[in-house]
Chain A
Amino acid sequence: MDFAPARGGQRSAPRTPQGLLPLKILVAGGFGVGKTTFVGSLSEIPPLSTEQEMTELSVGIDDAAAVPDKTTTTVAMDFGRITVDEQLILYLFGAPGQNRFWFMWDELARGAVGAVVLVDVRRVDDSFAAIDYFEDRRLPFAVALNQFPETPDFPMSSVRDALAIQPDTPLIRMDARDPRSSLDTLVLLVEHAIARSAS
């Protein structure tokens, strides 16, 4: 096939790295536990929000003209990006925590490296839904205890008991505002995912 040379003054498409591969990690947890902060502390782009459709819509041409798009029910979801190397690009998705948004999780979880479940130890109940979800689907996950200034200093063993997580599930005390701490959490999760895929 012949390709005409780019016309003068126009940029040509940059060489695309071979073997480009997107990866994703979910960030779950209850409302206000720090999902957006966690994504923001790691992302190389300002954390963005996307709108995901609530239902499978089949809008006809006429309908689309008659009905403004604001009637489409959508839910906002935070995401961030880490360019791992020339080929691997990792996306972090802040999964909506409320039960009624779980329809989104199945799509998000498909093909994911794993999930970070953020926990506020003062409100562990808020994380049970996410933990149950990932255990049911056998998606590797790590539990991250986001430390707030007023967080009481419970022993890790009692937190593990309260969360009722498996002995091999990684548990880390961290600060979602601190990029290094958030990165350590991702490393812990990926180590766990590798161990799981080897077994």
Chain B
Amino acid sequence: MTENGHYGWRKGDRVVPAYALTQGRTRTVGQNLPLEALVTATELAVQNLPTLQVERRAIVRMSMRPTSVVEIGAALHVPAGVARVLVSDLANAGFLTVHLPQSTDAAGGPSQEILGRLLDGLRSR
């Protein structure tokens, strides 16, 4: 399924329920991973790619470039909570590096410096 070079799975491709992929866990781990949290594959993941279960292999392949939890969920056709757990497991195993947003405080948005860079980036498009 992943050998055709993209991850456009259809729901019918899956033979086990999405939550079985995570042994039924939804919120016990990874609950603090925001949807936009970015992940990148580590060297260790690339070396161990053939040993990984198919969904986890797909995630590592996607993460060869910076990819978010929400993109992973959409590509695998699993709910965001399942993507969080899969990503957390891979990160705990040393296969993914997680890049969190700057601030996750209740009222805290990005710093003025970051907002300035965002503005410059958008204006130059």
A46-75 Cβ-contact flags toward B at 8 Å (1 or 0): 001111110011111111110111001010
Listed A/B pairs (27) with beta-carbon separation below 8 Å: A10-B46, A13-B45, A20-B40, A21-B102, A21-B114, A22-B36, A22-B68, A23-B36, A23-B110, A50-B79, A50-B80, A53-B81, A64-B24, A82-B122, A89-B36, A93-B70, A107-B34, A110-B34, A110-B104, A111-B109, A113-B109, A113-B118, A139-B109, A186-B122, A190-B115, A194-B119, A198-B112
Confirm or deny: B71 has a beta carbon within 8 angstroms of a beta carbon on chain A: yes
Closest residue of chain A to B66, judged by CB? A20
Residues of A within 8 A of B80 (CB): 50-53
Interface residues of B, count at CB 8 A: 61
Binding site for B on A (CB under 8 A): 3-4, 6-7, 10-14, 16-17, 20-24, 45, 48-53, 56-65, 67-69, 72, 74, 79, 81-82, 84-85, 88-91, 93, 107-108, 110-114, 137-140, 183, 186-187, 190-191, 193-194, 197-198
Residues of A within 8 A of B68 (CB): 22, 81, 89, 91
Contact (Cβ within 8 A) B114 A64:
no
Cβ distance A182 to chain B, nearest Cβ, rounded Å: 11
Cβ distance A152 to chain B, nearest Cβ, rounded Å: 30
Residues of A within 8 A of B91 (CB): none
Confirm or deny: B10 has a beta carbon within 8 angstroms of a beta carbon on chain A: no
Residues of A within 8 A of B36 (CB): 22-24, 89, 91
